Structure 1
Amino acid sequence: MQDTSHILIAEDEIGQAEILKYNLEDAGFRVSVANDGETATQMIEDEKPDLLVLDWMMPEMSGIKLMRWLRARDESKGLPVIMLTARGEEDDRLRGFEVGVDDFVVKPYLPSELVARINAVMRRSRPDLQQSLLTYADIVMDLESKKVTRAGKIIKLGPTEFRLLKVFLSRPGKVFSRNQLLDLAWGHDVYVEDRTVDVAIRRLRMALNMHGLPDLFRTVRSEGYAIDAAES
């Protein structure tokens, strides 16, 4: 996750590996690359990464064989693994899950999709981070440092916009009415007009979308607002 977690990429196509490395570093991760299975095993032993992005087909040692090696060792049996594959067949996915793969991403894929999958797997494998980080799509909110990133880029928010975003990230997809947002982000004892919510939402949208990224907010007429990547 965007806490400088260390990601190891095991991918034999050098061009693909470099593109992936660039995008993950841009998202805030520390990244190493191995271009074959044997090198990957050595780097896992030496560097102890936080997560492995593993290609299914590699020379010398296939992704499945490397998975069996990982899960047979006490030192690496808990390492989270996302497997990259051009294979979309259900049998291949089942085979991967049987040997301990945590998730699959089928080529071709969007970098933002992989970042979201990495964040999800890391949350499951590192519950200690759940209390301090809220994530959705490519947005990460660090509640301890009060920092927000989107696609690895720092987003500058005022206190009101930060509180609003925290509300939305706590329940992605839920439509919040203006009154609910007033209570949750401003407080029950503060008098604020409804239109103030609309202004704050507009500022929040502008801040999150300033790098040309898609708008993740959904406006429901006469109802309120939701953060919903499916609608972007």
Structure 2
Amino acid sequence: MLLSSTEQHELLLVDDEADTLLELTEILELEGYCCHTATSVRKALEQLTHHPYIGLVITDLQMPEESGVKLIQHLRAHCSRQHLPIIVTSYHNAADEVVDVLGLNVIDFFQKPIYHNRLLEILNRLLPAMPVKAVRL
């Protein structure tokens, strides 16, 4: 019996709010993405080490220990991850904050709550559909 299955794009979602991570993970996994999550910059870096095929990061800007900016700066300084696409989210929308973040070569800035349709449009544009493989059962 042949079933059709697709490989999944791997995403890393970083936010200190567990409810936000859960909601975004559910939405993106329903769309076929494989989501890894982290609640801090330290945990995000661990996830990136354990999952080398992560192709995009969505990170909150305001987190208690270290900000999303620190994560972005670390990734931009790391040779193998310097071109990793990053989308930033935040409840705050101060103009200087947005300019600073966009200066770090991020894909987009989303004010929370996230407009999911717009996010999915961007992800579909950045991460084209994976080829379909036949799997024998």
TM-score by length of 1: 0.51
- 2:44 is the counterpart of 1:37: no
Matched position secondary structure for 2:45: helix
Letter in 2 for 1:21: T
Q: Percent identity?
A: 25
* Equivalence for 1:79: 84
- Equivalent residue in structure 2 for 1:109, among 106, 114, 134: 114
* Equivalence for 2:135: none
Matched position secondary structure for 1:32: strand
Contact 1:82 1:118 in 2 (8 A): no
Shift of 1:114: 1.5
**Structure 1: distance between partners of 2:90 and 2:7:** 27
1:38-71: CA deviations, max 9, x gaps?
1001111221211001000112221011111000
> Which structure exhibits the higher relative contact order, with contacts defined as CA atoms closer than 8 Å and separated by 6 or more residues?
2
Query: Map of 1:186-201 to 2, 5 A cutoff?
Result: none
**1:111/1:3 CA distance change after superposition, 3 Å:** farther
Letter in 1 for 2:81: S
**Structure 2: distance between partners of 1:3 and 1:78:** 22
- Stretches of structure 1 lacking an aligned partner (at least 5 in a row): 124-128, 134-141, 146-232
- 2:1 is the counterpart of 1:19: no
* Equivalence for 1:227: none
**Structure 2: distance between partners of 1:58 and 1:67:** 13
* Equivalence for 2:61: 56
TM-score by length of 2: 0.83
- Equivalent residue in structure 2 for 1:92, among 90, 94, 97: 97
Letter in 2 for 1:45: T
**Structure 2: distance between partners of 1:109 and 1:23:** 11
1:9-48: CA deviations, max 9, x gaps?
0011001100100000001100111011110011112212
Taking only aligned residues, the RMSD between alpha carbons, in angstroms, comes to 1.9
